[in-house]
Amino acid sequence: MGLCPSTSSGPRSRAAAMNCRAEVLEVSVEGRQVEEAMLAVLHTVLLHRSTGKFHYKKEGTYSIGTVGTQDVDCDFIDFAYVRVSSEELDRALRKAVGEFKPPPCRPQDALRSSGSDGMGQISLEFYQKKKSRWPFSDECIPWELWTIKVNVVNLANEQERQICREKVGEKLCEKIINIVEVMNRHEYLPKMPTQSEVDNVFDTSLKDVQPYLYKISYQITDTLGTSVTTTMRRLIKDTLAL
Amino acid sequence: MDTDLSSQDRKDLDKFIKFFALKTVQVIVQARLGEKICTRSSSSPTGSDWFNLAIKDIPEVTHEAKKALAGQLPAVGRSMCVEISLKTSEGDSMELEIWCLEMNEKCDKEIKVSYTVYNRLSLLLKSLLAITRVTPAYRLSRKQGHEYVILYRIYFGEVQLSGLGEGFQTVRVGTVGTPVGTITLSCAYRINLAFMSTRQFERTPPIMGIIIDHFVDRPYPSSSPMHPCNYRAGEDNGAVYPSVEDSQEVCTTSFSTSPPSQLSSSRLSYQPAALGVGSADMGYPVLFAGGLNAAHPHQLIGPGKEGGVPPVPSQPAHGTQADQERMCTPLDGVHYSAATPSSSEDTETVSNSSEGKCGSPHDLLETIFIRKVGAFVNKPINQVTMANLDIPFAMFAPKNVELEDNDPMKPAFSKDDILPMDLGTFYREFQNPPQLSSLSIDIGAQSMAEDLDSLPEKLAVHEKNVKEFDAFVETLQ
């Protein structure tokens, strides 16, 4: 699949080329709200895309573990969301989101440009691995792509920040409803794999839950309009190119 | 309509729908308790977690749900509804939300019951977990306390939305097609609360002055009583509800990786066959051990299949019991008496015996407290009678607290195991200490006269012992 191309095609057109489902969400937040807003969206998606651990028995049957959930209150947004009770998964998402830091707007640019400040987007992609014969490497075939576009705004005073807390909270509620709507369309999901194939469909590295294989990547556009594509080490590892 | 459905599939489907309905009610009510919910993931199937989700069962809620269902299942024209409403401390109530579990006639004959329907119901429950946190009532429920509480009511039959006021909004949580109809889960919620921030509920009494048009008489007499969305684990009280173990069957699901059973949708944008995923042909796609009684949790259904379903313990009895009409929230060491349903309109009386953690077995304090663990601590809301208080600061325990006497001090994490009152009340009491008696005019005047009378005597004594006094002064220098 390779790395995400930088700016020429939008996420939906790329996904269409890859024949996978693509959804785009857009949020405008203050700088300190970025992390919580991203975690809220990513956790909500992964709540729906995680199962309990599979335990395979003889004759190809398997049983499924139990997924626990917990409420998370945001500190900088009037918002709460539900995530899977898995510290490993939470750590992985926090690590990914922690590296996603859209730059704050420079004061002179804020005065010049009336609209956007810093921008960036974070992508959560679910994929399957397809084993290839030597010397070809495994292929990663995406089947669902979530793109969250983030506009970072600068606020002047505490009153604006308070309003922003509430407004962003309301917007995130709408995003959660959007996500749930997509999830309940019951569109394509990978087949349940056999034991030998389970690692091609699910991430079995976590000890308590089993999300579908996913990767997170992000783009940051600074105020000059240049884009810097940064990918996680996992993305590079998973999408070996000759 | 369901002639193509085998009897086993029909039985399984009915069971799925029944337990889905029960779990739906649990998720909704627990989301309105006012507390953060946390359940643990378990890598090994426990056999008691329906839909592979850790959703606790509050026995009272299950009891109410089963009472409402009365052995029926949601069907066309027969919906299961959970009504969430707000009730102020003055007794006014307002409907906030109606959650509806409905069935329509649109059938999906091709869908596999024991695999696809089950997994989609699991997904729908996850969606419900997410959606219950984004409607306006969630934030209100997190801030419930002495000014208002959140109540729930379960009813079965026709959906009643008129209590939500004009312009209510609906959000669809999701749908699951089955061979007998399509299950739809949705929520209709009042939106005119949006004009009031939740802060107004906290700090601006009286509430009637803000939303007077919302407190109207209930258009339909309640066929089922309202219940508070407050729950305390581990309480001993008069109301005992059958634990879930009595009536809930063990859910143990085992799936196979047979290709025909895995197609979750007929609209595939991507053909998974290219992956080479495929298992041996299975004649019977799913081995399902659910729906059996607790005595044989690991027995399998299916022609000639033996699965490796591990022995599953029967559903652990949940030790939690909820007081049906209690409005108090969790606090260790506090025991509550069950109020009768008929007193639900009045403020409940709670007997606070400090035998548990206070270490003072003789303390008896009858008071009405509505408290929350954590940041949402509220002050008592009604009269208090005290008897035999040996605990520190007992004399400062509130005697007559008016409903309108809002205490702006809401300290976090305070517990009244030892103190009969909260820190805010104590602080307020000490803010206005009584005046020193020596500074009062009457006493001052009286002592002045006495001083003048005794002055000559004192002077005589001083003159007599002047040398002693001088020597004493020299030692100080």
DSSP track, B308-360: -PPP-PPPPPP-----TT------TT---PPPPGGGGGSPPPEEEETTTTTS-
More confident call, B290 vs A128: A128
pLDDT at B224: 67
With cut-offs at 50, 70 and 90, classify the pLDDT of residue A231.
very low
With cut-offs at 50, 70 and 90, classify the pLDDT of residue B392.
very low
C-alpha span between A239 and A231 (Å, rounded): 11
Q: Which residue of B has its CA nearest to A128?
A: B275
User: How many Cα neighbours within 13 Å face the side chain of B441?
Assistant: 0
More confident call, B449 vs B417: B449
Q: Position B270: which residue type?
A: Y
SS3 A56: strand
More confident call, B317 vs B65: B65
**In the predicted model, what is the mean pLDDT of residues A230-241?**
51
Q: Give the range among A25-34, A163-172, B122-131, B400-409 with minimum mean pLDDT.
A: B400-409
Q: Look over chain B and give the mean of its residue pLDDT values, rounded to a whole number.
A: 65
Burial of A230 (0-12, 13-18, 19+ CB in 10 A): middle
More confident call, B156 vs A138: B156
Instruction: Give chain A positions within 8 Å (CB) of B175.
Output: 184
Q: How many CB pairs (< 8 A) connect A and B?
A: 215
Digit-coded pLDDT (tens) for A4-24: 333 445 666 665 555 788 999
Cα separation of the two ends of chain A: 12
- Could you count the other beta carbons within 10 Å of the beta carbon of residue B355? 13
C-alpha span between B463 and B456 (Å, rounded): 11
Q: Is the pTM of this model over 0.80?
A: no
C-alpha span between A19 and A168 (Å, rounded): 32
With cut-offs at 50, 70 and 90, classify the pLDDT of residue B6.
confident
C-alpha span between B379 and B146 (Å, rounded): 7
**In the predicted model, what is the mean pLDDT of residues B447-473?**
84
Asked if A57 has any chain B CB less than 8 Å from its own CB, the reply is: yes
pLDDT at B414 > cutoff 80: no
**B307's tokens:** 């699965």
Distance from CA of A132 to the nearest CA of B (A): 9
Mutate one of A64, A162, A197 to test the B interface: name it (highest B CB count within 10 A): A64
pLDDT at A181: 95
CB contact under 8 A, A186 and B52: no
pLDDT at B21: 96
C-alpha span between A160 and B383 (Å, rounded): 42
Burial of B276 (0-12, 13-18, 19+ CB in 10 A): exposed
What's the complex ipTM? Answer: 0.84
CB contact under 8 A, B123 and A53: no
Beta strands in A178-226 (DSSP E): 209-211, 214-221
Asked if A158 has any chain B CB less than 8 Å from its own CB, the reply is: no
Chain A stretch 136-155, residues whose beta carbon is closer than 8 A to a beta carbon of chain B: 141, 143
Distance from CA of A109 to the nearest CA of B (A): 35
CB contact under 8 A, A71 and B308: no
pLDDT at B370 > cutoff 80: no
- Could you count the other beta carbons within 10 Å of the beta carbon of residue B456? 9
**Which secondary-structure segment (H or E) carries B96?**
strand B93-104
- For residue B18, the 8-state DSSP code is H
Of A53, A166, A193, the CB nearest to B257: A193
Instruction: Give chain A positions within 8 Å (CB) of B259.
Output: 191
C-alpha span between B326 and B370 (Å, rounded): 10
Angle value at C-alpha A214, between B121 and B56, nearest 5 degrees? 35
Q: Give the range among A142-156, A179-193, B182-196 with minimum mean pLDDT.
A: B182-196
More confident call, B105 vs B385: B105
pLDDT at A84 > cutoff 90: yes
What percentage of chain A exceeds 90 in pLDDT?
A: 53
Instruction: Give chain A positions within 8 Å (CB) of B308.
Output: 57-59, 61, 63
- Could you count the other beta carbons within 10 Å of the beta carbon of residue B412? 11
User: Phi/psi class of residue B70: alpha, beta or left (left: φ > 0; alpha: ψ in -120 to 50)?
Assistant: left
User: Phi/psi class of residue B111: alpha, beta or left (left: φ > 0; alpha: ψ in -120 to 50)?
Assistant: beta
Q: What are phi and psi of A150, to 5 degrees?
A: -120, 125
